Chains A and B, each alone.
Chain A
Amino acid sequence: MSEQKGFHADMEKCIGCKCCEAACQDFYRMPPEIRWRKVRSFEMGEFPTALRVHLSLACNHCEDPACMKGCPVEAYTKRGKDGLVIHDPTACIGCQYCTWTCPYGVPQFDPVQGVVSKCNGCYQRVDEGLMPRCVESCLTGALSFGNVDLHAAEQRQVVTEAPGFPDPSITRPSTRFAWPLKGPQPDHQVSIAPPAADPHAPAQKEGK
């Protein structure tokens, strides 16, 4: 079993309240310009059957992190024990290569500090046995965090694709999703692991 930890975002339960975003930003004292977690909103259809759904995203703690590959000073590390990708701002020289290589736009350059920063999965809290601040603050239970392989047992649906989310085969992100009950549904057969995942991972999950 993979030890990779990651977030799961249930778009049915997400109400777009941005408590995850605010709790993260407030806990780490981020200025308004920098948000490690962002709630995106998508809308489709026409009144009165229109659908507005929300997608809460932070760092995807990829199995194959593109940010790390581009970093000339090794400011990034991927932890062996849980796969969290951690950025060290004291090592960062502010070259911003990572902001270009990450397909998800996760690392954000802070012009005031002259360095990049990003979600580190609240690794200090995780080490203490706590949940990341965003997960702890979620009002509806839409956001979860844990071993990627265990989402299947705990979630209604585990999907690797989401609106506006780039092809997961590029960096094999650890974030998983459940889609809204109304509106389009994912393919009947949904793979839990990204296409290039290790061959011993469970292959398929029945979508609902």
Chain B
Amino acid sequence: MSAGMDRRSFLKLSLAATATVGMAGEVFATTSGQSYVSGGPAPAHVEPEQWVYSTCGFCGTGCGIEIGVKEGKPVAVRGTKGYPVNDGLLCAKGIYQWQSILASDRGRHPLVRKDGKMVQATWDEALNTMTGKFKDLIAKYGPDSIACYNTGQLAMEEFYVLGKLMRAGIGTANLDGNTRMCMASAVVGHNRSFGTDGPVGAYADIEEADVIMISGSNMAECHPILFGRVVKARAAKGTKVICIDPRMTQVSRIADIYLPIKPGSDVVLLNAMAHVVIAQGLVDRTYVDAHTSGYDALVKHLEKYTPEYAADICGVPAATIVEAALMYAKAERSLSMWVMGINQSINGTQANNAFHNLNLLQGKIGKPGCGSFSITGQPAAMAAREVGGSSTYPGYRAIANAQHREQVAALWGVDPKKLPDKSPAITEILDAAIEGKIKALWVICTNPLMSLPDQNRVRKALEKLELLVVQDAYETADTAQMAHIYLPATMWAEKSGIMVNSERRMNLLKPAVKPPGETRSDFDIIVDVARRMGYGELFPFKNTAEAFEEIKKMTKGRPNDYTGVTYERIEANKGLQWPVKDAASTGTPRLYTDGQFNTPDKKAVLWAMDPVPLPEVPSEKHPFMLNTGRVQEHYHTGTKTRKVPQLNKLVPTAYVELNPRDAERLGIEYGDQVRLTNDRGSITVKAVITAMIAPGSCFVPMHFSEGPVNALTVWAVDKFSKEPNFKQQAVQISKA
């Protein structure tokens, strides 16, 4: 009886005596607006006239959806029956997403700032102002004075034309995506271990695995469809679950072994688990000798990472580390899954490599039920990575690789010297803006003022710009309110293109409903900007399908080969997992099944690593460790989900999770306003008292502009991936 409670007390538990995220809505219900109009029709089921095949626009799970349409408007969304990812199921966000299309603050017309005020403009005026300024700045300061910061939520074809415009057209190195804050550590981790990016496994491995180790992932809230598959596999065949997380979640509840490690100690723990695997003779030497390099150095390096050494640093007993390592290693099929708790860290890349080490040591890569699985956070973040939307060239070609740049230049018919050989991260781009080196920033489908760390620093950078263009579906987005030019873009249900999920499954967007006002697709806007800039000959595409034909040529023979993909084949097969080398292929569930990796010697690399210290630890002045993340009801900065009254009712505003002991010591009660402060900023939010958070730690979700947790987060990045460290910072907490 882990919770130290008997049957009688269990039955007497009442909602009022407990504190949960779900309850936040009950307690704070008065803060949500009345959405239900007096005199309106009685609530009743609405049956759509038509269901249109599409892909969910939220996380990287990539569920198949159908958009219900009536009289040209979205009236429902349902999961696609038989779709391999979700088989008809959807999470609460997914169910309600049709409402975010109808939100009243959808931009309908371009806006241009005049005398400090945003006023309606024509597309000609807005785009000519934008491109005119771009041309002036290029002439005066060179192409690197222009930067673009995009997203993981466009269609593949949009990422492709954007990358081509910025690099082959304008010729600026300053192109990055918010995927930097999400998957960058996973990307660099894949590159370093396997030679190129690309998640190795498939969701089907969840059902195939004997043991699933879930680390730094509140999968139950952030990828509920995948966690539902874990829970079902556990009930059906007794799959064991290991949970590694400083914060208790539903994942830790169902775990057979729970390791509540100290924040940021992942690399030490994983090194110690690898130490146990080696010490207990559980290494697959045949596989290691044939398919990896660096084994001897790793063995030597891991000598000091004994379970006892790790126990001190990680704050969990040595015996539990051994138990977890043995459960994982002795299983025939074991799978590691992780997300932002691992990636959004100053040691994010190394932690990714530590997972790959653990699996490579046992040959658990490219086999059913096995492998390393970094789940993606956005529906098309993978597409951005694959076709040059952020820090790569199309076809997983590396920015710094001269041979790759030559291949791309040849395919595009441009001078290879024009193609940038660097790819600064958004944190570097904004610092360059503060220094006055970057003059113009084009923000597409993301809300950096809310989502990047250290909000005051971000605001300062954005204020310094001569031109801030924001292209977004919502004209009220926090960053859009600072813009000089606002361009209204269509949403996922209003356009066509391809999205790619965490398991490399390419799926289709189809225009289901008519976009509002003068809204245009990101594809049309980007191509129009390119033509106005004078690069029209690089963009001979009438539509996304034509652009996709060019993308296919860029990926032929590359790891992400789409040669055999067409829009029709995607829909007919309910998604296709790349590589799809020819029209007969139905996709590739797992990579590296033959042990041949994409490194020069075809061997995967085992990395000997020591973590670097955290950028910030609690001190006398700032005694709490602040962690950040999501809740299941909301997505990112809430621009979509906070437009859905039903979701907003459940979790209407910002809050901080505090352990009951800390709350008692500070005299804080459930629902009190509390102030969180450090040297970067201060926010005031409601208190939620819960034993799911460790004493000395606190957690604030990232969705709420009235309590923006990123006013407190630290400007520190992983040295390999440049991904910010969102999960550990020190704060002081007091009653407001």
Contact = CB atoms under 8 A, between A and B. Distances in A.
Interface of A: 12-13, 15-19, 21-23, 25-34, 39-54, 89, 110, 112-113, 117, 136-137, 139-142, 161-165, 179-180, 182-187
A50 B693 CA distance: 9
Interface in B86-113: 88-92, 95-96
A28 B43 contact: yes
Contacts, number: 200
B3 A44 contact: yes
Contacts of A34: 43
A50 B649 contact: no
B10 A163 contact: yes
A43 B90 contact: no
Contacts of A51: 2-3, 253
A23 B88 CA distance: 12
A12 B238 CA distance: 13
A42 B1 contact: no
A33 to B, nearest CB: 6
Nearest to B660: A46
B235 A50 contact: no
Given A16-B250, A19-B89, A26-B646, A48 B694 contact: yes
Contacts of A15: 220, 224, 227-228, 231, 250, 254
Most buried by B among A22, A27, A137, A182: A22
Contact of A182 (B32, B45, B224, B253): B253
22 contacts: A13-B231, A13-B235, A15-B250, A18-B633, A19-B91, A19-B92, A28-B43, A29-B45, A39-B22, A42-B18, A45-B2, A46-B660, A50-B3, A50-B691, A52-B20, A110-B43, A163-B10, A163-B12, A179-B10, A183-B1, A183-B2, A184-B9
Contact of B22 (A16, A110, A140, A183): A16
B627 to A, nearest CB: 13
Contacts of A33: 34, 36, 649
A47 B649 CA distance: 28
Identify whether the interface residues of A are mostly helix, strand, loop, or mixed: loop
Contacts of A137: 89-90, 95
B691 to A, nearest CB: 4
B324 to A, nearest CB: 14
Contacts of A21: 92
A43 B691 contact: yes
Nearest to A163: B13
Most buried by A among B18, B19, B633: B18
Most buried by B among A12, A137, A187: A137
A139 B15 contact: no
A112 B20 contact: no
A39 B26 CA distance: 11
B646 A182 contact: no
B187 to A, nearest CB: 29
A18 B248 contact: no
Most buried by B among A47, A113, A182: A47
A26 B227 CA distance: 22
B45 A27 contact: yes
Contact of A113 (B12, B42, B692): B42
A33 B96 CA distance: 15
Nearest to A22: B92
Given A50-B690, A50-B691, 14 more contacts: A13-B231, A22-B646, A26-B76, A26-B96, A29-B45, A42-B15, A43-B13, A43-B690, A51-B253, A54-B22, A139-B91, A182-B2, A183-B5, A185-B7
Interface string B35-63: 11111101111100000000000000000
B3 A45 contact: yes
B516 interface: no
B659 interface: yes
B493 interface: no
A115 to B, nearest CB: 8
Contacts of B10: 44, 163, 179, 183-184
Interface residues of B, number: 72
Most buried by B among A32, A42, A46, A137: A32
B11 interface: yes
A142 B228 CA distance: 10
Nearest to A167: B11
A32 B645 contact: yes
Contacts of B23: 41
A4 to B, nearest CB: 23
A49 B36 contact: no
B489 to A, nearest CB: 26
A195 to B, nearest CB: 15
A185 B645 CA distance: 38
Contacts of A16: 20, 22, 220, 250
Contacts of B536: none
Contacts of A13: 231, 235
A160 B32 CA distance: 35
A43 B692 contact: yes
B648 interface: yes
Most buried by B among A18, A23, A27, A52: A52
B230 to A, nearest CB: 9
A158 B320 CA distance: 34
Most buried by A among B4, B235, B253: B253
Contacts of B693: 47
B258 A45 contact: no
B45 A41 contact: no
Given A32-B32, A139-B225, A165-B11, A17 B253 contact: no
A53 B284 CA distance: 40
A51 B10 CA distance: 11
A183 B248 contact: no
A15 B660 CA distance: 23
Contact of B253 (A53, A89, A112): A53
B232 interface: yes
Most buried by A among B5, B32, B39, B88: B5
B632 interface: yes
Contacts of B694: 47-48
B14 interface: yes
Nearest to B77: A26
